Structure 1
Amino acid sequence: MLLLITACAPTAKVPVQDATVAKAEIRKVLEEQADCWSRGDLECYMQGYWKSDSLLFVGSKGLTYGWQQTLDNYKRSYPDASAMGKLTFDLKEMRELSPETILVVGKWHLQREAAKGNLEGHFSVVFKRFADGWKIVADHSS
């Protein structure tokens, strides 16, 4: 994990940011993602992720590398708005790993139609601060 964080360092230096401000900005990214998901808009949801072939997603089916492959996997697993449901996050911990890297641990919940059944699990994501804002560079969801 540490190698991934080092390998994805932005090329342009961004000024150091207060941890409280950083965490508030990350909460906003996650809120926007939940809103996008709940509207059935996966492309919007994916804007919270680093748009790179080096994005790492770890799920029940193993490792996925790359922004586009992660989006394609989501589209296969959640083909329509009823399969997606309403997404909420319950953040358990935000831990600053460096001024430009924050680990977020929490629980996700999908409220869906009775026929589809609700889903939930835990996640840990690593956010990295880039010139255009905070992006998820690694996601482990179960």
Structure 2
Amino acid sequence: MQKIIILVLTVFFSFSATAEHRLNEKDESNIRKLIQQQVDAWNEGNLEKFMETYWKSDQLSFVGSRGPTYGWQATLDNYKKGYPDKKAMGHLDLKVLKLTQIDKKTVLMIGRFELTREIGDAAGHFTLVIQKIEGEWKIISDHSSAEK
């Protein structure tokens, strides 16, 4: 009988440890608001406001077509070089394709971006690692890849 109890407990804890974390409605809503804040700021032509959604840290990572960039300020500087004005920024649409909670304070988001501009449209996919830091959801890592 003791062996059966040990077996049942072992199986139970094995499944519990590997169960996918479920994102609660409040956190999902706040994360979706974060993404909408990005879209709104971008479409206003306001890169500083856009960057408020990112972790203001030297540990922030952004990976794009030119390779990795580390740090909040370096990421903002790269955005300013690549998108010097509203015309270059155009109109942004973001679509969340998958949102997965990794642990209580970390979420992985996969999505699609579409940028409509007079100088030529751009589109592609992104992967964001979003973490709750001091009670607020912030992007700590962004990997964005444009389609050719």
TM-score, normalised to structure 2, is 0.81
1:72 to 56, 74, 77: 77
Instruction: Name the aligned partner's letter for residue 124 of structure 2.
Output: G
How far, CA to CA, are the matches of 2:24 and 2:130 in structure 1? Answer: 13
What is the CA distance between 1:112 and its match in structure 2? 1.1
| Kept in 2: contact 1:19–1:99 (CA 8 A) | no
Instruction: Name the aligned partner's letter for residue 68 of structure 2.
Output: L
How far, CA to CA, are the matches of 1:34 and 1:64 in structure 2? Answer: 21
CA distances 1:36-55 after superposition (whole Å, capped 9, x unpaired): 00110000000000000000
Query: Which structure: greater helix fraction?
Result: 2
Q: Which residue of 1 aligns with 2:120?
A: 117
Question: Which aligned runs of 4 or more in structure 1 are off by greater than 6 angstroms?
Answer: none
CA distances 1:90-119 after superposition (whole Å, capped 9, x unpaired): 110000000100000000011112xx0111
What RMSD over aligned residues (CA atoms) do the two structures have, in Å?
Answer: 1.2
Which has the higher relative contact order, 1 or 2, with Cα contacts under 8 A spaced 6 or more apart?
Answer: 1
How far, CA to CA, are the matches of 2:91 and 2:37 in structure 1? Answer: 13
Contiguous gaps of at least 5 residues in structure 2: 1-21
SS at 1:48 equivalent: coil
Map 1:91-130; keep pairs closer than 5 Å: 91-113=96-118, 116-130=119-133
How many percent of aligned residue pairs carry the same amino acid? 46
How far, CA to CA, are the matches of 2:30 and 2:81 in structure 1? Answer: 30
Q: Work out which of the two has the higher radius of gyration on C-alpha atoms and give 1 or 2.
A: 2
Count of residue pairs brought into register by the alignment: 124
| More off after superposition, 116-125 vs 129-138 | 129-138
SS at 2:74 equivalent: helix
How far, CA to CA, are the matches of 2:135 and 2:53 in structure 1? Answer: 11
What is the CA distance between 1:20 and its match in structure 2? 2.1
| Kept in 1: contact 2:102–2:108 (CA 8 A) | yes
What is the CA distance between 1:132 and its match in structure 2? 4.4
